[in-house]
Amino acid sequence: MRKIAIYDSFTEPKHRRLIDETAARAGFTVDYYAAPAAVPADKRGDYEVIYGMPKPGELKDFVNLKWFCGSFAGVDAYLDDSLYPSPEVMLSNSSGAYGVTIAEHMVMVTLMLLRHALPGDRAVRAGRQMEMKERYMVEGITELSACKVGLVGFGDIGRATAERLAPFGCELYYYTKHRRTPEEERKYGVTYLPLEELAALIHRAADESKAYFAGENATK
């Protein structure tokens, strides 16, 4: 049987059953290695497929490798062809696996910052919640609908983030190497900006936020 090596740090028994069944239908068996532990050097020649995030320096030893699929979206560390036993090895990432989760996280963090969630929590614990409430009644709180949001990249994560921010009514700008079609821009409610302009937009927002991060609101 042909073999797959999985650098495993997250699967549950139900996941392994599904992986094993799917692999068996394609004529493969699967061996699991608890990440960050490496596949033993004397075993690496047994595998045609790797899934996970091995150390780049290990890949050369997988002399029969045909396909390496990273378990994250980012695979920059694995782009150099010299890492592999052959330039014919196919590299893929796990695009699509985390878009919704990360997009929801980004919306949550954005709202926490705008609502001063961390200093608010500290104020409640210290018994100063009314003092803080009165302060922000005077100073005001920035609504997400009044914000301009810049997205650097517009893949799975960028699109999912745009979808979740659109109902708040904020202005959405994006940059990617390959501009999306007018139809897709309308679908997600985004406006394209060259990277330099988007960076300037982000830097202005960062300058306005320096006092927030440098003062009493800084994360401890």
Q: pTM of the prediction?
A: 0.69
Sign of CA dihedral 163, 169, 170, 174: positive
Reported confidence tier of residue 152, pLDDT bands at 50, 70, 90: very high
What is the 8-class DSSP label of residue 96? T
Mean pLDDT lowest among 94-103, 122-131, 142-151, 178-187: 94-103
Give me the residues paired with residue 174 across strands.
151, 192
Higher per-residue confidence, 96 vs 68: 68
Distance (Å, rounded) from C-alpha 25 to C-alpha 146?
Answer: 53
% of the chain residues with pLDDT over 70: 92
Q: What is the pLDDT of residues 54-87, one digit of tens each?
A: 999 999 999 999 999 998 878 899 999 999 999 9
Q: What is the pLDDT of residue 220?
A: 41
% of the chain residues with pLDDT over 90: 71
Kindly state the average pLDDT of the residues 175-180.
94
Determine the residue type at 115. Answer: R
